Amino acid sequence: MKKKRKSNIELLRIVLMLMIISHHIIVHGLGLKNITSEDFINTKLTYIEILLNSFFVMGVNGFVFISGYFGIKFKIKRILSIIVQAISYSVILYLGLCLINKVDFDFFSLSKAFFPISRNIWWFITTYIGLYFIAPFLNSGMKNLKKTELIYILVGLFILNCFSSFAFGGISKSGYHLFNFIFLYLIGRFIRQTEINIKHPKLIFLSCSFTISLLGFIFIGINKTPFVWRLFYYNNPILILSAISLFFVFFNFKIGYNKQINIIAQLVLGVYMIHDFPNVRNFIASIVNFFEKNYNLALLPLLLLTLILSIFIISSLIEYIRFYLYNSFYNKINDSLEIDQLKSKLITFANNVHKTFVA
């Protein structure tokens, strides 16, 4: 019997995806990413963008920490499902954009659409798949090492990831890297194994977010705007602590099992792929630019909130349809080819070979 996921954590997944959409609208739509350029013009809106982004930017770290806390259980079906999902959206979105004349069609571009993982269309998907493949080794190491050894290792990784890389651009650079994902995953596993429960997580989350925004305001005040962007690096230790504390806010939030929440939470990866597909991302940014130029500052938050919710709802509906069609197709193929029986026979054969030549 398949174990039901905790609805409080599934609710967190939904919240994290809404935060990621909000972050992308602030960064790509409102143009906060341009803060590193020399010709960046600081406005009143910039301070609001920094404040809000300080709360939203830790969404990715939150997802990886969840994976670490509960552990990735390697399954071929799951990894194939993610790859098929990525290819499906890469091809369908490309063809859809061609149909509405947003991009020009050519067979070379279509062929490239079949390799979204290799081409790093979605950096998170490519990096997460890398983490998925090495998770069994990480899990095994965490089980077999002593607590003191784990602490030494995590301290070393912290120095490399959150000091060397964050401060000086080392291995993990800005945290958009497998190294940062490994660190977050191991932190999650360690906290789970040692049964650590953070006290006052709401206060910690708010403190982290306001600290980042305050530092951003200070850097703007002393005309060091490039350092503002550095605050939003995923390997910023404050952001990592922010993600962990938000996890425990929801972990301690007991709501029982809620089928609707769990169903919606299953759709969030598709929501990410749809709204962060490069051409779709640019289209969303153009909508935000239109709002910013044609409406006053008082009305802008309502328009952006409506846009965020619309993106989530529309993308969720699309992913729900894709998920239903994929499962229906998979079940038909499974029934006709007896995949489960074939898989069982292959495992038995491999075990027999191992006993014969190794044991």
Mind listing the pLDDT tens digit for each residue in 77-119? 899 999 999 999 999 999 999 998 888 898 999 999 999 999 9
Q: In the structure encoding, which two tokens stand for residue 155, read together?
A: 């301290």
pLDDT in tens, 218-264: 999 888 888 899 999 999 999 999 999 999 999 998 888 899 999 99
Residue in 233, 159, 154 with CA at minimum distance from that of residue 186: 154
- Whether 1 maps to a domain, the answer reads no
Is residue 299 a part of any domain in this protein? yes
Q: How many domains does the chain have?
A: 1
pLDDT-derived band at 355, boundaries 50, 70, 90? low
| Percent of the chain topping pLDDT 90 | 70
pLDDT of 177-202, one tens digit each? Answer: 999 999 999 999 999 999 998 999 99
List the Cα angle 140/145/146 in 5-degree steps. 150
Residue 85 lies in a domain: yes
Does any domain span residue 298? Answer: yes
Residue 169 lies inside a defined structural domain of this protein? yes
Q: Which domain holds residue 91?
A: 7-357
**Does some domain include residue 93?**
yes
Its pTM surpasses 0.95: no
Q: Domain for residue 2, yes or no?
A: no
What does the alpha-carbon distance between residue 90 and residue 107 come to, in Å, rounded to a whole number? 14
Lookup result for tokens 């007896």: 338
